Amino acid sequence: MASRKADLAVVGRDQPRLDGAHKLTGRSLFTDDVVLPGMLHAKIVRSPHARARILSIDTSAALALPGVKAVITHADAPKLYVGIEQPLFRQEIVNYIGDEVAAVAALDEATAAEAAALIKVEYEPLPALFTIQDATRPDAFLIHAKAKGNIAWQQAQDLGDVEQGFAGSAHVRTDTYTTNASHNCYAEFHVAIADWSLPDKLSMYTPTQTAILFQKSLAGALRLSDGQVRIMNLNTGGGFTGRTSVRPHHDVAAVLSRKTGRPVKVRATADEEFIACRAGGEVKYTFRTGVSDTGQIKAFEADITFDTGAYVESQMIVLTLTSSYIHSLYKIEASRYSGRLVHTNNIPYYFHHGGGLAQMAFGLGQHMDALARELGMDPIDFHLQNGVTKGHTSMTGTFFGSCGLAECIRKTAKQAGWKRKYGKLPPLKGIGIGVGAMASGAKGVFKHDTSAAFIKIVDDGSMSLFVGLPDMGQSSHTAMAMIAAEVLGAQATDITVISGDTDIVPLDVGALIQRGTFNTGNAVKAAALDARKQLEVLAAARLGVKPSQLVFRDRQVYPKGQPDKAIPLKKIVYDTLHSREGRFVMGRGFYNSPKESGTMAYSFGAQIAEVTIDPDTGFVTVDRIVASHDVGRAINPRIVEGQIDGQVFSGLSQVLYEQTLLENGQVMNPSRLDYRLPRSYEMPKVEHIIVESIDPFGPFGAKEVGEGPIVCTLPAVANAVANALGEPVNEMPITPWKILQILGRRAKARAGS
């Protein structure tokens, strides 16, 4: 298979999104567009208390309201759990503001809301815990009896001889950082439509990153077999790691549908969105690194405590992900990790971008920058010296078959004019670098990490590609069509991508761990090759060459080097079917990493940010970002740039703007007005550098670009602010008030000296 750029006809060229016109003209369907016959609308009754005892629930007035079809409480689903420990409805104690207590289904949404307000719940308020500090005091009460010390989950790991590593270090530096709760701010709010009117089949429309995980966890919780649960995810309006697991509203819709025998839709209101999204979660990080005189890392230690809020559902994964990150970026000889999830009466935590890695990069990137400064080293030299390289095998067993980290750092630094600027900018102007790495898929969710694909080719040459990978805005379906088109000598526009229905499409673990391009891309490539083999039989006979001599390109098939002998692709397809054999061309393929565990490939990136601080207001303006990313191979370069832009946006937004403000467990800014996301006006100029390291295992050499850029943006912006201020801000977000406070303090110190 061709892999030199010149030999590629489709891959590596800019291809507009296949559904771009539909998106722009509002024709793309989302769950909220779906209206089923007889569909009811549901509202959830939530606890107004951060912790309280339920004394009584009176549903009589709600049930008496005309139009109300059902009310459900704990009694209707006593053994139904969301995740591992959260009962769908509370029976005795509510544990956070927003905890589900009851739900109602009615003919329309307004009636459901009216009925929800008529459900009278009597509470006895109880003391509550809102900080990691309070929850981990020895005398703190236990939010869940089995979580001793309110530690919901913990993980510790030593690799290599850590003590010896630190003992042998010439310098050791320790820093602590805090990141505050933030919210994924999906374009599409949380919504689910369940149809469980027949007992042996539950159909659910909902946005998701992974239909398979939804199918499995709904089936498990509702005591159905996997095949009895059908998940339909149409378009998904944003994922950002947040749509990877079933939330209470999915079960609410299912249980209400079962009870009423009608489809039920439930959707979050603007402020409920912050609860459904699990926008809680302060995180405290301590990083300790020992280095030699020359700046070689000898030992690294991370201690991370997450405020996981009232319940644990699948947050444990954040500990696994954050524990191994350092090894994907630097060559480390000894490392120690200890992490824990602490229960509080806040909204449950769920990570926002990159499985908690983006947040962590805010601190980790600043820590490494500070360490380099302390050694008198340029941070760029520090990253180059310690960064992983091609052929390296990490302590965690990852082999780096490709690695463009050094190339990313060098190219970014050159374009940004780093040497000219670093340490030489006027006051209140700053420049900073962030580097990062990101996995392209990984085993761990299941024993396998399988994606599968079917392709069918009809006799006019048009094709349908069936994949389980959702498109949540990242243009994955366009990329999949491009990969299939490259193999089959077609154009991406010849291919219709069919997705979003577990009854139809083959297995796919989903759009998480940045596995889409790598895993599903490999599966699609295999399916397309399988289809091509079926076409090669006839084509080889017609052209009188061996199948291996055939070229499929530009909707034609010809012997290598003899395009003048080309036969139109669709004629090959037509004749293959309209023959005595009557072969209908159907390709199938799947990909599963051959490794026992972990990741086949990592992508790498480097970003340099330049900022200006306004001394009157404390506002930070990001003036420029130079962003490079090693994507292995850019399947669709323009979309790669779009992915970089989106993550630069979200990264600088997290550093400078976003915070879920919690007061006694309640979100104070539950709206897009008060929870501030920047807009295009606040975006800097982003300069893209695509580095292609051509991964030996990726489809056409491709790796991920799903979350890799954002882990560079956070430290780049934070380091640029520290560079402008003359000291770091160790808490995210970096607000104007923290900046003015620091400027005021520094002015006072100057005046005093």
Partner 1 sequence: MQLPLFEYHRPASLDEALATLGTAGSSLAVLGGGTDLLINLKLRLERPRALLSVRELPELAGVSVDAAGTLRIGAGERLTDLATHPLLVARYPGLAQAIRAVGSRHVRNMATLGGNLCLPTRCWYTNQSEGWRGSQLPCWKTEGQVCHVIKTASNCRAIHSADSVPALIALDARLLLRSSQGERELPLADFYRDDGIENNVLAPGELVIAVLVPPARLRSVFVKAAARTGLDYGYATLAGALGGSNRAPKSLLLVAGSVGTMPMVLHQSARIILADGLTEASIEAAADAARDDLGEVTNLFTPPGYKKRLVRGLVRRVLNELRRQKLPAAD
Residues that are catalytic? 707
> Binding mask 359-398 vs partner 1 (x if CB under 8 A, - otherwise)?
----------------------------------------
Quick check: 113 binds partner 1 (CB under 8 A)?
yes
Residues between 269 and 308 that touch partner 1 (CB under 8 A):
269-272
Cβ distance to partner 1 smaller for residue 389 or 617: 617
Q: Given CA atoms 235, 240, 241, 246 in this order, what sign does their dihedral have?
A: negative
Residue 49 DSSP one-character state: S
Phi first, then psi, for residue 201 (nearest 5°) are -150, 120
Q: Binding partner 1 by CB under 8 A: which of 84, 110, 504, 541? A: 110
Cβ distance to partner 1 smaller for residue 280 or 295: 280
Phi first, then psi, for residue 601 (nearest 5°) are -150, 145
- Nearest approach in angstroms of CB 687 to partner 1 is 24
Q: Which residues pair with 341 in a beta bridge?
A: 153, 306
- Helix, coil or strand: residue 133: helix
Strand ranges for 268-385 from DSSP E: 283-291, 297-309, 335-343
Quick check: 93 binds partner 1 (CB under 8 A)?
no
Quick check: 428 binds partner 1 (CB under 8 A)?
no
DSSP assignments along 484-543, one per residue: HHHHHT--GGGEEEE-S-TTTSPPB--S-TT-IIIIIHHHHHHHHHHHHHHHHHHHHHHH
Quick check: 737 binds partner 1 (CB under 8 A)?
yes
Cβ distance to partner 1 smaller for residue 207 or 670: 670
- Nearest approach in angstroms of CB 734 to partner 1 is 13
Quick check: 616 binds partner 1 (CB under 8 A)?
yes
Cβ distance to partner 1 smaller for residue 158 or 271: 271
CA distances from 451 to 189, 398, 469, 592, 593 (A): 27, 21, 8, 7, 10
Q: Letter for the amino acid at 136?
A: T
Quick check: 682 binds partner 1 (CB under 8 A)?
yes
Closest CA to 589 of 442, 476, 443, 699: 699
Closest CA to 324 of 243, 383, 388: 388
Q: Binding partner 1 by CB under 8 A: which of 31, 669, 693, 723? A: 669
Cβ distance to partner 1 smaller for residue 272 or 530: 272
- Strands 120-125 and 556-559, by their bridges, are unpaired
- Helix, coil or strand: residue 17: coil
CA distances from 457 to 109, 136, 594, 638 (A): 44, 61, 29, 28
Cβ distance to partner 1 smaller for residue 393 or 741: 741
- Nearest approach in angstroms of CB 740 to partner 1 is 5
Residues between 237 and 276 that touch partner 1 (CB under 8 A):
269-272
Quick check: 53 binds partner 1 (CB under 8 A)?
no
Quick check: 749 binds partner 1 (CB under 8 A)?
no
What residues have CB less than 8 Å from 259, skipping those under 6 apart? Answer: 70, 72, 76, 105
- Nearest approach in angstroms of CB 478 to partner 1 is 31
Quick check: 97 binds partner 1 (CB under 8 A)?
yes
Q: Binding partner 1 by CB under 8 A: which of 169, 666, 693, 713? A: 666
Quick check: 649 binds partner 1 (CB under 8 A)?
no
Closest CA to 484 of 527, 539, 520, 536: 527
> Binding mask 697-726 vs partner 1 (x if CB under 8 A, - otherwise)?
------------------------------
- Nearest approach in angstroms of CB 379 to partner 1 is 29
Distance, first Cα to last Cα, the chain:
70
Closest CA to 102 of 53, 42, 44, 40: 44
Number of residues that bind partner 1 (CB under 8 A): 34
Q: With CB under 8 A as the contact rule, which of the stretches 1-9, 154-162, 171-179, 665-673 interacts with partner 1?
A: 665-673
Cβ distance to partner 1 smaller for residue 188 or 692: 188
Q: With CB under 8 A as the contact rule, which of the stretches 23-31, 303-311, 332-340, 674-682 interacts with partner 1?
A: 674-682
- Nearest approach in angstroms of CB 183 to partner 1 is 15
Quick check: 736 binds partner 1 (CB under 8 A)?
yes
Kindly tell me the burial class for residue 359, based on how many C-beta atoms sit within 10 Å of its own C-beta (0-12, 13-18, 19 or more): buried
Q: Binding partner 1 by CB under 8 A: which of 676, 683, 684, 687? A: 676
What is the spatial distance between Cα 297 and Cα 287, in angstroms, rounded to a whole number?
A: 13
Residues 59 and 675: beta-carbon distance below 8 Å: no
Kindly list the residues in this chain that would bind partner 1 in the complex (CB under 8 A): 46, 48-49, 97, 109-110, 113, 117, 269-272, 615-619, 657, 666, 668-670, 673-674, 676, 678-679, 681-682, 736-737, 740-741, 744
